[in-house]
Structure 1
């Protein structure tokens, strides 16, 4: 289905209006009846300057207030502190030097309850591109709504939100992936906002909601937000960069920052008169948002030859009657105490069902999104065909023993190495997890459990497809037992390799760096796994520090035992009728080599297979545990 344009959905259709009307009391879940004021006082954030190593204030004594149904715009030039302020207000600041006094209904806020009363829409649309609009909202509801909300109530909320945001006509359209076109940019932003309104938050934070949109799409998105905020008394705080005049006028209040200090804080309608009183008359037919941003922007002042006296603007604001009015509003906010009832704080979803919901979402993504597993499956099949035709139908002779050994090394090591192809899909999942964790939906435990179990069937499918082609074409040990033991080791190899990818990509969530780190780690494991240098002769440092924790070493060992532990190979017959056997064994008088003699040259025995399988499981679990620890310790 092709995506509709912005104009196609500018107004709710008659169908969507009917849905809203039919929803009746279900629509009331959006209405805020508990939070009437949100204010903050003297917010100051200090960091250490990278050059001077001295304390640097990026926010200095910033005040503000928002009432139910109002929209506040945070504006300022780059580096003014608006994103930092938004994060502090949303309780997302990780800076320990932040000084904050934030009040909700006159009561100091607490992180746990505040996260349940508010929602945050990221600047980037962290959405699953292979889901439809309706599926996106449905999974948002299942991850956030408490268990007592019935399926019919959940569906009603979704239908109401699609109607309210003009998305009913796009309900079955994909969000969009790099290889499959989906909804437009403006519709994506509406989906992002709508997904955060599922839980009926009282306060909505928007980080650059119009980023990447043209002026028409920006206006349309913000108008939808404004209409929802007015109708349902939701408090909206948005950081926004140079909106158009029509978009700017949708806001009720403006907090204008420059170098971490307020230069204006009050009604949008009074902006023109305030700056005119300071001698800065706005020309007619000028976008007021652009004018005031240029007025307080000092980045290019020297080039323009018109330096702006920010000190004078800051001082003028502090002395203004507008500043006094804001101070009075804050005192009124603090004195008008109305503690929140526990009934107004929505409960979380059932934590035991969260991994199941995440696995369901990942399952849909994986079979629709070719990048996740489809391309990897094709890549592994190609590798299997290449391996099978290079080592084609090797005969069991001593001259092919090295070829069999090389094939075993190649099959295990390069299958492991190619797990790097999972990095892009995992980073996409990680970005979505980061957003949803920051909104308090679930933590690293549910994410890691779902990520592990959803990968198992696909990795097993890859293992089977690769083995069916490569194992029999290469003429490995011709038995069902040999085949299934090979499958077991290769499957454990892929489980460990993908777990390593999860650990490294969680630690360094940058594609190029994660790719380099994973490639380096696999190169290290290949070097010390016992193929390049046999374990008994391996350098003491590499052997005791890395060889015994190298999962590829156990895969190589297991596959070698599987091939050579139950097979014999013919020796070279000499002209005098005798035999020349490279590996002396009990079968030498029969002009044969017992494969166990090959294993002895590597220091391998045929027993303790279960022990080595256990080592593989411990290593895989260790990677996942450390990956979980990395995600747990990261603050969002």
Structure 2
């Protein structure tokens, strides 16, 4: 069979099926003659990432996929889990459950996948992390008591009961150890009772003690819950290596050994590679086939010989025999409708989780509140108590520009918090728990109260210190424009971070965009002299421009200012007006100087809402299309 994994298409096809494979008994999981090919970027010729790979793992067994860097460990793991094996890859071969060919849907429904990088939310406790995993994965027919029972059982099984109310850990507050985080990552994937568990480098970043801790728990859990566990692993300690029942050793996408871990030493000894005393056997095996350090071609020849030796060995015949025997009497898993959580259930779970994170994680909004309050105090004391003389007109305008532009510019502080949420979402989506639409909607809703709080705090401090128009309706209009400004700025952060999910890049691009908006907003360069290219390409999609215009009209439309009077009865007015003879001019005369029309506030509000929605929809499309 031919498989062309594409996460976007898979999601669409899955949604069109009403039935799936969901038997609780999976006695064996096997793969036969598995090939993964891509086109070489330089030559365009086919390049094999996996070549004729076969294997079998039974329920309750723990399989280690090992090999040097670039050997195909992650490619094999992703191909078995029906994930994208590699960009532009074509996957062929048979994947079997209980001897019967398995569909993508059956593997997805029967398995869980734990990524190499932990995507845990640092401000949540172990108990909360597990409960939210249950709420987003279990159908509504599962009662809260049953979900809590499952969570409690897993917490105890992974030895986390003494820390159930400990937070995972943030950059500011220490929480769990590395080994505890790995165990929690695995436990949160077991809440739906999968029968096959895939783990990508579960010991990555851990020392030998913590690696042994994680591997021993995996072995215990696999046997207790009768789960077939397949893990890619790199250079385990001797004790951790001994926890695995079966070893799959790869080099260059080819099998060098597949069989019981305990028999690997004798196999390689019979092949002429005796392990020296007091040597880590896992490291010895990897050194035998690590062609990256091959200087004279000797290791490559040695690897080719081991691959050839394995292809004609009794161990290889035993693997093929086990696969053929299972296929002779296949036990297809029974089909039944799989009940998924309702979309609104997942949405409410995400909102609840985001709410907890937002008020606990000081980085998400706490620091931003302090930052904006500091900006408000600075701005209010610098632009302090302006009057109605014409000398204050330009400082008033400067204050309006500064308040709107820098409020939106400082939204870049949201980048790290959103990237953490995005990392969690990506893993949850890959496991079929969260869709892009639900994630974007939840992110938008949960930000509303916090952004409104920031807006009100900033406005209460700044508005009256500066001396803007003392009118309740004018104050609330100011609040509205700043709130829309922050909503648009944070929506821009979401869009940019969804496209460039690297912290430094997202920060730089967001800052650049805000700098561009400042330049073409109509303050630094008035609209009547702004270069047509910048005006027609960028000005009209610039949310800062509409905020500036709206706040200018709000402040100036109903105000009048006095002109300078160098001598009694002689007036020098900065703006021409029908009131110049009286030594005054209208605020509308100032607006004319900036080519700002009155009576368009409703249109500007509508455009702002459209820009905010546009950013969010574009972010949704980016996440939807991203594999």
TM-score normalised to structure 1 length: 0.93
Shift of residue 257 of structure 1? 0.2
**More divergent stretch after superposition (130-139 vs 279-288):** 279-288
Matches within 5 A, 1:190-589: 190-302=183-295, 309-343=302-336, 346-589=338-581
Alpha-carbon spacing, 1:431–1:39, altered in 2? closer, same or farther (3 Å): same
Shift of residue 51 of structure 1? 4.0
**Secondary structure in structure 1 of the residue aligned to 2:93:** coil
Structure 2: any 5+ residue segments left out of the alignment? Answer: 1-21
- Correspondence for 2:17: none
Note the alpha carbon deviations across 1:429-478, whole angstroms, 9 max, x for none: 00000000000001101100000000000100110111111111111111
Shift of residue 305 of structure 1? 7.8
Tell me if the contact between 2:38 and 2:89 (Cα under 8 Å) persists in the aligned partners.
Answer: no
Shift of residue 294 of structure 1? 0.8
**Secondary structure in structure 2 of the residue aligned to 1:98:** strand
Matches within 5 A, 1:20-39: 33-39=24-30
Tell me if the contact between 1:199 and 1:346 (Cα under 8 Å) persists in the aligned partners.
Answer: no
Which residue of 568, 589, 593 maps to 1:601? 593
CA distance in 2, matches of 1:97, 1:114: 18
- Correspondence for 1:160: 153
Tell me if the contact between 2:123 and 2:169 (Cα under 8 Å) persists in the aligned partners.
Answer: yes
CA distance in 1, matches of 2:295, 2:560: 84
**Secondary structure in structure 2 of the residue aligned to 1:352:** helix
Shift of residue 49 of structure 1? 2.9
CA distance in 1, matches of 2:506, 2:366: 21
**More divergent stretch after superposition (422-431 vs 522-531):** 522-531
CA distance in 2, matches of 1:443, 1:86: 23
**More divergent stretch after superposition (247-256 vs 101-110):** 101-110
**Secondary structure in structure 1 of the residue aligned to 2:204:** coil
Alpha-carbon spacing, 1:592–1:377, altered in 2? closer, same or farther (3 Å): same
- Correspondence for 2:13: none
CA distance in 1, matches of 2:274, 2:106: 45
Shift of residue 112 of structure 1? 2.8
Alpha-carbon spacing, 1:306–1:120, altered in 2? closer, same or farther (3 Å): closer
CA distance in 1, matches of 2:30, 2:445: 44
CA distance in 2, matches of 1:57, 1:262: 13
CA distance in 1, matches of 2:116, 2:131: 22
**Secondary structure in structure 1 of the residue aligned to 2:172:** coil
Matches within 5 A, 1:621-632: 621-632=613-624
- Correspondence for 1:46: 37
**Secondary structure in structure 2 of the residue aligned to 1:299:** helix
Shift of residue 536 of structure 1? 2.4
**Secondary structure in structure 2 of the residue aligned to 1:166:** coil
**Secondary structure in structure 2 of the residue aligned to 1:312:** helix
Shift of residue 542 of structure 1? 1.3
Q: CA RMSD in A?
A: 1.6
Which residue of 73, 86, 92 maps to 1:82? 73
Matches within 5 A, 1:163-202: 163-202=156-195
Tell me if the contact between 2:34 and 2:94 (Cα under 8 Å) persists in the aligned partners.
Answer: yes
Tell me if the contact between 1:116 and 1:347 (Cα under 8 Å) persists in the aligned partners.
Answer: no
Note the alpha carbon deviations across 1:192-230, whole angstroms, 9 max, x for none: 111010000010001111112122221121111111111
**Secondary structure in structure 2 of the residue aligned to 1:149:** coil
TM-score normalised to structure 2 length: 0.94
- Correspondence for 2:50: 59
Shift of residue 302 of structure 1? 2.1
CA distance in 2, matches of 1:236, 1:178: 32
Shift of residue 231 of structure 1? 1.9
CA distance in 2, matches of 1:100, 1:551: 52
**Secondary structure in structure 1 of the residue aligned to 2:54:** strand
Shift of residue 346 of structure 1? 4.9
Tell me if the contact between 2:135 and 2:345 (Cα under 8 Å) persists in the aligned partners.
Answer: no
Note the alpha carbon deviations across 1:346-370, whole angstroms, 9 max, x for none: 5321212211110100110111110
CA distance in 1, matches of 2:299, 2:501: 43
Shift of residue 335 of structure 1? 2.9
